Structure 1
Amino acid sequence: MVVHLPPAAALRAFEAAARHNSFTAAANELNITPSAVSHQLRHLEDLWQMPLFTRTRKLSLTFAGQQLAPIVRQFLNSLEDTLADLRSPDLVEPLRVSLTQSFAVKWLLPRLPEFSENTPNVNIWISTTDQLARFDVEDIDVAIRLGTGPYYPLHAEPLLREYIFPVASPKLIGQYGEVINTSDILRYPLILRSGNSAVPRWELWFEKLGFDYVVPSSGPRFPDTAMTIEAAVAGQGVALVRSAHITDELASGRLVKLSKMSVPSPLVYHFVCASGAEKRPKVAAFKSWILKHAAVAQALYDERDGGNSSD
C-alpha cells in the first residue's frame, strides 16, 4: 500500500483549522490568507481521497478528520520538540559503548566520571555482552573487544594486555600455608570457571609454567568474574584472575597474589569502531581518553604483575 505523505504546510493548515474550527482563525495563526488555508486543505483531501471538513455555515470535522486531527497534532508537536532539541547548544549526544560486563564494572565504570566531567556534551550509554559486537546490525558506536584481533574491516587499536595469576584471601593462606613453588598451589582448593574461551583457565596457567597437572573437573564452577572474585574473598578457594579485574581487591588486601608467577594473557583488549567512525568528534574524544587511561593501567600491570611473568 502506497502512503502519500503531504507537505508540512498542508498538515499545519489542517491542524490549525481543526483546532479552531475556522479557516479564518487558522489563517491568522499561520499568517496566510483564508483562501491559502482552503487550498492546502483541498490538496490534502485530494491526496488522501477523503473529506476532512464539512463545509456548511459552521465548519466542522468529518469522522475521518476527527480521527486524523490528533495524530497530525502529535506528529507536528513531536517534530517541533525534536528539532528544538537538535538545535539546542546544550544538546548531549549519546555514545553507545559495547563491552563485557566484567570489564565495564571492574575497569571502565570507576573511571567514567572523569570523562563525563571533561566531556559534558557526550553521554556514555553502556551495553554489556560477551558476544562480538555487530556494527552492521546493532546501534553502537564503540566496542571494547577482548580477543586477538585484527577485526578487519573495522577500525581497531590495541588497548590493554593483562596478566593472569592466582589470588586467595589472607584467611585461606593462613589455613593452607604460603606458596613457595608452583606445586604448593595444589594444596589449595581451586575455583573453577565456566564460560567461553576468554575465561582464565588453570590448564593454560600450569602449562605456561611448565607444570604438568590435570585440573579436576569436579567442584563448584562460577559463570562470571564477579562471582569468582567474591568466592575467593569469601575464602572458598584460589581464583585465577586478570589484572584489570582485581586492582581494588589487591589494594585493599582482601585478596593476595598467591604466586609471583604471572602468565601474559593471550588476549588483548581492543578499541573498535566502524571504519572512519574514529574521526567523529565524540568517538575521537572517547578514544583519546580511554587510550590515555589504558596506558596508565598497562604500566601498573607490567610493574605489579609482569615482573615474574612466564612468556
Structure 2
Amino acid sequence: MSDHLPPLAALRALESAARHGSFTRAAAELNVTQSAISHQIRHLEEIWSLELFARDARPLTLTKSGAALAPIARDFFSKLSATLESLRVEDKQGPLKISALESFSLTWLVPRLSDFRECHPEIDVWISTTDRLIDFSAEDVDLGIRLGRGVFPGLHSSLLLREYVFPVCSTQLLKRLGVPKSPAELARFPLLLRHDDMLSPRWDTWLGAAGVPDLPLDQGPRFPNSNMALQAAIAGQGVALVRSAHVDSGMNAAGLVRLFDVHYPSEAAYYLVCPEGTQARPRITAFREWIQAEAAQSQLQYDREVSQSKVPSETNDRLVPD
C-alpha cells in the first residue's frame, strides 16, 4: 500500500489542476512553474500506472481515472485544512489540562500558578491529580507531570526537577520526645511509613546513607501517599521522609523541622510528559517554558542547600540519569 501513496506536493498539483482545468492556473495558485505541475502529474501517473489527464484535449480534461481520484484529493485537503484550523482555535481558546501528582501539585505547583496566570492570562490551567501514569489516548489531558526515571514509552518527556530526600517532623513532636542528636536516635521516634512504592522516599536507603541501616522498620503507621504522611508529620504523629518539593512552599509555616544534614538524592525525578507531536503546540510550549524556568530556580535552591550540608559521596551514582 505504501508504494502507491504519493507525495503531498504531487497530490496538491492534481487537486489544483483538476479544479482549474489548467496546468497554468494551477502553477500560478501553487507558486510553481507549469513544468513543475506537469512533472508532478506525470509522477502520479507513474506511481499509479494510470493516466489522469487527456493531454491532447482542449481544454484540459480529466480521464475517467483522474475524475475518480481528484475528488478524493480535494476532500483530503479540505478535511486536513478544517482539522488544522479547529486544532489551532482549540489550542488558543481551550483550557490547558494538566495531570500531576497530588503532593507535587499542593506543595510545589499550585503556589506558583499565579505567576503563570500573570504571564499568560489567555490560558486557563485545569489541574487534576493522580499517582498513576495516565493514558493520553483515553483521557482528556494535555500534559502530565510524573515522577520516574525518564522512561515513558510513546510519550515526549523532558526532565523537570531532581530532588533530595530527608526527614522532617513537627516542633511539637520534638517538644514531646526531645531533639535527636544523631540518626540512630530515630529508633525512639515513630517513623511514618509508606505502602510499598518503588518511587517513594525509602527509609531504608536514607538510613543506610545516614549510617544506621539496621534501624527496625517493621512497625509504625503507613500511608498511601506522601501528602498524607506529611500531614501526619505536621500533626505531630511522627517523622516523615520527604522529597525537596514536598516542603518547597516552606516548613516554618507548617511547623516542621528538618532533621540532620544528610540529604540523599531521590531515586526518581519529575518529568513533563505529553503525547509525541503535541509538544510544539503554543499553549503547551508556553507552559513548558514557564515551568522549566521555575524548576530551574528550585533546583538551584535545592542544590545550594545540599552543598552547605553533608551529602554521602557514595550515593552520587544514585542520581537519576538524563
**SS of the residue aligned with 2:121?**
coil
Shift of 1:296: 0.7
1:5-154 paired onto structure 2 within 5 Å: 92-154=93-155
CA drift at 1:256: 0.6
Equivalent-residue separation in structure 1 for 2:189 and 2:246 (angstroms): 22
For 2:310, the aligned partner's letter is N
Q: How is 1:118-197 mapped onto 2 (pairs within 5 angstroms)?
A: 118-194=119-195, 196-197=197-198
What's the RMSD between the two structures over aligned residues?
A: 2.5
- Aligned partner of residue 162 in structure 2, secondary structure: strand
Aligned positions of 1:189-208 closer than 5 A: 189-194=190-195, 196-208=197-209
| Deviations, residues 34-74 of structure 1 (Å, cap 9, x unaligned) | xxxxxxxxxxxxxxxxxxxxxxxxxxxxxxxxxxxxxxxxx
Q: Which moved more, 1:174-183 or 1:107-116?
A: 174-183
Count residues with an aligned counterpart. 227
Q: CA deviation at 1:210?
A: 4.0
Identify the residue that residue 242 of structure 1 maps to in structure 2: 243
TM-score by length of 1: 0.67
Q: 1:309 aligns with which of 300, 307, 311?
A: 311
TM-score, scaled to structure 2: 0.65
Q: Distance in 2 between matches of 1:235 and 1:249?
A: 17
Name which of structure 1's ranges 172-181 and 266-275 shifts more when overlaid on structure 2: 172-181
* Structure 1 equivalent of residue 298 of structure 2: 297
Kept in 2, the 8 Å contact 1:243–1:305? The answer is no
Q: Matched residue of 2:128: which SS?
A: strand
Q: 1:127-175 CA distances to partner (integer Å, 9 max, x unpaired)?
A: 2111112223222111111000132432111100111100111222233
Give a deviation string over 1:64-102, Cα, whole Å, max 9, x none. xxxxxxxxxxxxxxxxxxxxx99999x632111111111
Does the C-alpha gap of structure 1 residues 210 and 297 become closer, same or farther in structure 2, counting only changes over 3 Å? same
Residues 166 and 258 in structure 2, CA contact (< 8 A), matched pair in contact too: yes
Amino acid at match of 2:223: F
Change (3 A) 1:173 1:305: farther
Q: 5+ residue gaps in structure 2?
A: 1-85, 316-322
Identity over aligned pairs, percent: 42
Q: 1:214 to 1:117 in 2, by over 3 A?
A: same
Contact 1:165 1:241 in 2 (8 A): yes
Does residue 280 (structure 1) correspond to residue 308 (structure 2)? The answer is no
State the distance in 2 between where 1:121 and 1:193 align: 40
Q: CA deviation at 1:249?
A: 4.4
Residues 103 and 227, structure 2, Cα contact 8 Å, conserved in 1: yes
Structure 1's unaligned 5+ residue stretches are 1-84
Deviation at 1:305, TM superposition (A): 4.2
CA-CA distance at 1:203 after TM superposition: 1.3
Q: Structure 1's 166 and 244: CA in aligned 2 closer, same or farther, altered over 3 A? A: same
Q: Report the residue type matching 1:161 in the other structure.
A: R
Q: Using the alignment, how far apart are the partners of 1:120 and 1:86 within structure 2? A: 20
Q: Which moved more, 1:287-296 or 1:109-118?
A: 109-118
C-alpha distance in structure 1 between counterparts of 2:278 and 2:236, whole Å: 46
Task: Give the superposition deviation at 1:219.
Answer: 2.4
Q: Is the 8 A contact 1:157 1:272 kept in 2?
A: yes
